[in-house]
Amino acid sequence: MILAIIATLATPIEGANNNYAWIFGGIIVGSIAGGISARRIQMTAMPQMVSIFNGLGGACAVVLAMVELVNMSNPSPGGIGIAILTLFIGGVAFTGSMLAFAKLQGLVWDSTITLPKHNIINIALLIATVVVGVLLYLQGAELSIGLLLIFMGMTLIYGFSFVAPIGGADMPVVISLLNSFTGLSAAAAGLLYDNQIMLVGGILVGASGTILTVLMCDAMNRSLINVLIGGFGGGGASAAKGDGDQVAKEVTLNDAAIQLYYSQSVMIVPGYGLAVAQAQKVCKEVDDLLEANGVDVKYAIHPVAGRMPGHMNVLLAEADVPYPKLLDLEDANSALPNTDIVIVVGANDVVNPAALDDPGSPIYGMPVLNVWEAKHVIVLKRSMSPGYAGIQNPLFFHDKNKMLFGDAKDSLGKIVSELKNL
């Protein structure tokens, strides 16, 4: 990107003011803000930062398109169409990403914000926005500033409304999709300015984001349309209620440490709770102690664990966990029947058996990690509260499962102490 900026600045443009003070001023301010943000951000807030950066990319596309539409002289029909498309995609990416950030940061009262018949409202709003965009296009060089502002406002509102009903459990898919939108808006801006570097960069981001979105949808056994209109993650009547006589069994720290120490194979299932507790390094310490005792330790990574694509991979890489120890969904499920103990650290929805046997559950049909097929399961959680999808997990009451309540970092730290004493 630095080379692209230098190459662009070095290219003479006829009639340009070449106001380098504004250009380099923006680069310096942006670099300082981005550098400080990246250094200070906690791993738990990484999805929020990704959402903000996605949104700012969309906002840039909106500004570029607005300036171009207002200042076009003798515009071609293709140029006007590209500018309108850039404005639309960028606007949706901007407000959609900002709402995704608010949901992830807990700034909204619920993971889903819906109105009655919200899907119909979204379709109607999209059609109305497209109609206004067509009217704007037909005006050509004589476009109305008022109509342009109305169109911009409608794209921003649609971006917000588009993300509003999507539940928390689908947030990794949404972030990936919004990332692809930002790339597409950058590619459209590259067409707008006849800038091949912007075009190629935008296509790379848009294509990779789209491919990742499709892969995650496949891993959840759901279509993208189902994710966008299904409201998955908002809870369900069948899965939200548990039987009143169900009792979860607990395990002591000493018993947990003894079981782990004398096992032959252990599989760790990380989830967002691991990130919240910042327990990845303590988890790696448990791993090292068990490996030193001849225990085979692996990690089961669900494609949508955490709050963004690859969240668990990044988290464990920070703790220097070797990549070959990380098993994907299919490999992990193949290994689970031969595993002595599974430790679930902060994961919930990705180990929920309701996905397989409860047709009334919102996550029914989604492939999950079949941890109950192992000989024993220990779940580390603060409480019995449901996960981000807002549904109860029958695993907590399974015969093979025992709960270890408390902060994950604290619990794992105490397990480390117990292991050292054995």
pLDDT in tens, 164-209: 887 666 777 888 888 898 999 889 888 888 888 888 989 999 999 8
What's residue 233's pLDDT? 45
The arithmetic mean of pLDDT across residues 247-265, rounded, is 92
- Give 359's pLDDT tier (boundaries 50, 70, 90): confident
pLDDT digits (tens, 9 = 90+) for 72-96: 777 788 888 999 999 999 999 999 9
- Return the pLDDT at 292: 94
**pLDDT at residue 249 above 80?**
yes
- Domain residues of the chain, as ranges? 41-230, 239-421
What one-character DSSP code corresponds to residue 323?
G
What is the Cα 174 distance to its own chain's centre?
A: 6
Distance of CA 367 to the CA centre of its chain: 18
Q: And the tokens for 269?
A: 């299932």
What pLDDT score does 118 carry?
Answer: 81
Q: What rounded mean pLDDT belongs to the chain?
A: 85
Q: Which residue has the tokens 């803000």?
A: 33
The string of DSSP codes covering 378-411 is EEEESSS---TT----GGGG-TTEEEEES-HHHH
Residue 242 is predicted with a pLDDT of: 46
Angstrom distance (rounded) from CA 113 to CA 166: 8
376: enclosing H helix or E strand: strand 376-381
Residue 349 annotated to the active site: yes
CATH number for 239-421: choose from 3.30.2310.20, 2.40.50.660, 3.40.50.1220, 3.10.20.30.
3.40.50.1220
How would residue 109 be classed by pLDDT, with cut points 50, 70 and 90? low
**341-345 β-sheet, strand order:** 326-327, 296-300, 265-270, 341-345, 376-381, 401-405
Q: Is the pLDDT of residue 295 over 80?
A: yes
End-to-end CA distance of the chain: 54
Catalytic residue among 349, 358, 407, 410: 349
Neighbouring CB atoms inside 10 A of 145's CB total 10
β partners of residue 149: none
- Four-point Cα dihedral 229, 234, 237, 238, nearest 10: 90
What's the pLDDT score for residue 111? 57
Judge whether residue 415 has pLDDT over 90: yes
Say which residues have a Cβ less than 8 Å from residue 384's Cβ, sequence separation at least 6. Answer: 248, 396, 403
Selection from 54-68, 107-121, 169-183, 355-369 with the highest mean pLDDT: 54-68
Whole-number CA gyration radius for the chain = 25
pLDDT value at residue 235: 42
What is residue 409's predicted lDDT score, i.e. its pLDDT?
92
For the residues 132-142, what does the mean pLDDT come to? 88
Out of 64-73, 125-134, 284-293, 386-395, which region has the weakest mean confidence (pLDDT)? 386-395
Phi-psi region for residue 57, left (φ > 0), alpha (ψ -120 to 50) or beta? Answer: alpha
Q: Which of these, 374, 378, 396, lies nearest to 387 by C-alpha position?
A: 396
The residue type at 162: F
For residues 130 and 138, is the Cβ–Cβ distance under 8 A?
Answer: no
CA dist 210 and 270 (Å) reads 25
**Which residues share a beta bridge with 336?**
none
CA distances from 143 to 23, 60, 194 (A): 29, 22, 22
pLDDT beyond 90 at 299 = yes
Beta strands in 232-340 (DSSP E): 265-270, 296-300, 326-327
Q: What is the pTM of this model?
A: 0.74
Euclidean distance between CA atoms 199 and 48, whole angstroms: 26
The pLDDT of residue 20 is 82
390: confidence class by pLDDT, cuts 50, 70, 90 = low
Residue length, the chain? 422
The label of the residue with tokens 């970092």 reads 409
Q: What mean pLDDT do residues 48-75 have?
A: 87
What does the pLDDT read at residue 110?
57
* CA–centroid distance for 16 within its chain: 40
**Sign of the dihedral defined by the CA atoms of residues 249, 250, 255, 261, in that order:** positive
